[in-house]
Amino acid sequence: MLPCQHFSQYAAGVLRLRARRLPANLDEAHLAAWRSLLGAHAVAVGRIEHEIARAAGDLVPLAWYDILIALVEAPDHRLRQRDLSHSVVLTRSGISRLIDRLETAGLVRREPNPADRRGDLVVLTESGCAALRRTWPAYAQGIAKHFARHVRADEARVLVRALQRVRAASATS
Amino acid sequence: MLPCQHFSQYAAGVLRLRARRLPANLDEAHLAAWRSLLGAHAVAVGRIEHEIARAAGDLVPLAWYDILIALVEAPDHRLRQRDLSHSVVLTRSGISRLIDRLETAGLVRREPNPADRRGDLVVLTESGCAALRRTWPAYAQGIAKHFARHVRADEARVLVRALQRVRAASATS
DNA sequence: GAAGATTGACTTCTCAATCTTT
DNA sequence: AAAGATTGAGAAGTCAATCTTC
């Protein structure tokens, strides 16, 4: 006697299983899109990260890169940790520890905030800026090779439109 | 004197910066698609995971779910860890420890493999099967609410086509 | 009291080394 | 030796509690 008999005998069972249990607000096409999103993200990010880690030249990992990019794009290259949390998906404490490491590596600096002394400002250093310049070419090549190369231009436009709605969606309802 | 002067003065600088440094095989549209993929993935997965963790009823986290789903879809509900690593993005040791936890929780069982004793088979238990059934409705609602709801049907089809190519791409060149 | 940040305890993953079986 | 799995040490994140400033 098989365990989990409720799930039928596999093979044809897989699809029957899903079709039977799909709620009214989720169809096969959207479920397939969700699965392909998870798969593509995992594969592409994994490969790019791996290549960057193996490459010579003291490149920074993607998590560091995200912080540095947010700082470069900020006025005066400085931001509170609170604002950095919008660019990176981490909790408060996660950001705090990440900035610790970046500061130890000399890529950012904490600086008192005259306007609000509850939290220091995080400032990009020369060295952090250099790390960004060093890493970008490898990152760009990784995006091109493991992602962009497989996506047509018209598909890219659709991705942007749809996925930006997903990202921007408020958590309501 | 600003740090990182190479990156210009922000504001208009951001786009100029990118345009200047974009390699020949990566254009703005594809870069935007890449960024929207990262953003949408982070937001949607984060919210779904969070809701499942908060929900009552002893639901399993997504990482566990992936293992259980792979087992349900496998012949006889059993797989070597090697094969599980195709479904989950983890190293060998990562899988090993994950299976440890699932086994402790009683959702899977290790069973000697008569054909090749280098590695046991991982088998889904009744209890693991029940966990899957308990968790799926919440997961499906999360996908519907945080992802599918924001994606039109025609967009979903484009996503599947493009992202499956990304996932399936070999790491060559 | 609320907001921003940090710290301690804990969880989970990775890398490198190791063990067993093929 | 190669393949599958495991283990110790370390890296990096979370939660809950705490501290400082508003």
Whether A4 contacts A14, CB under 8 Å: no
CB neighbours of residue B25 within 10 Å: 13
What does chain B come to in residues? 173
pLDDT tens readout for residues B5-37:
333 333 333 444 554 578 999 999 999 999 999
State the pLDDT at residue B147. Answer: 97
State the pLDDT at residue B172. Answer: 59
Q: How would residue A87 be classed by pLDDT, with cut points 50, 70 and 90? A: confident
Range A11-35 burial, b when 16+ CB lie within 10 A, else e? eeeeeebeeeebeeebbebbbbbbe
pLDDT tens readout for residues B36-60:
999 999 999 999 999 999 888 899 9
d(CA B23, CA A140): 7
Nearest chain A residue to B159, by CA:
A33
CB neighbours of residue A57 within 10 Å: 9
E strand intervals along chain A: 78-80, 108-111, 121-124
pLDDT tens readout for residues B78-136:
999 999 998 888 999 999 999 999 999 999 999 999 999 999 999 999 999 999 999 99
Q: Which of A53-57, A132-136, B99-103, B155-159 has the lowest mean pLDDT?
A: A53-57
d(CA B152, CA A145): 28
Nearest by CB to A165, which of B143, B150, B156?
B150
Nearest chain A residue to B74, by CA:
A10
d(CA A63, CA A145): 20
What residues in A contact B2, CB-CB < 8 Å? 76-77
Whether A72 contacts A124, CB under 8 Å: yes
Residue of A126, A108, A109 lying closest to B1 (CA atoms): A126
State the pLDDT at residue A125. Answer: 98
Do the Cβ atoms of A156 and B39 come within 8 Å? no
pTM, full prediction: 0.87
d(CA A116, CA A132): 29
State the pLDDT at residue A173. Answer: 54
What's the alpha-carbon Rg for chain B, to the nearest Å? 22
> Going by C-beta distance under 8 Å and a sequence separation of 6 or more, which residues neighbour residue A109?
A103, A122, A123, A125
Better pLDDT: A158 or B170: A158
State the pLDDT at residue A9. Answer: 31
Q: How would residue A169 be classed by pLDDT, with cut points 50, 70 and 90? A: confident
Residue B89 approaches strand C within 7 Å at CB:
yes
- Please, what sign has the CA dihedral across residues B6, B8, B14, B16? negative
State the pLDDT at residue B20. Answer: 53
Average pLDDT score over chain A:
88
Range A81-95 burial, b when 16+ CB lie within 10 A, else e? beebbebbbbeeeeb
State the pLDDT at residue B123. Answer: 98
Residue A168, sorted as left (phi over 0), alpha (psi -120 to 50) or beta, turns out to be alpha
DSSP B19-80: HHH--TT--HHHHHHHHHHHHHHHHHHHHHHHHHHHSSS-PPPHHHHHHHHHHHTSGGGEEE
Q: With 60 as the cut, is the pLDDT of residue A163 above it?
A: yes
State the pLDDT at residue B119. Answer: 94
Give the three-class secondary structure for A123. strand
User: Which backbone phi and psi does A168 adopt, to 5 degrees?
Assistant: -80, -15
User: Which backbone phi and psi does A166 adopt, to 5 degrees?
Assistant: -60, -45
Nucleotides in D strand less than 7 A from protein CB = 3-8, 12-17, 20-22
Do the Cβ atoms of B164 and A40 come within 8 Å? yes
Rounded CA–C1' distance between B79 and D8, in angstroms = 27
Q: With 50 as the cut, is the pLDDT of residue B66 above it?
A: yes
Q: How would residue A17 be classed by pLDDT, with cut points 50, 70 and 90? A: low
Nucleotides in C strand less than 7 A from protein CB = 3-8, 12-17, 20-22
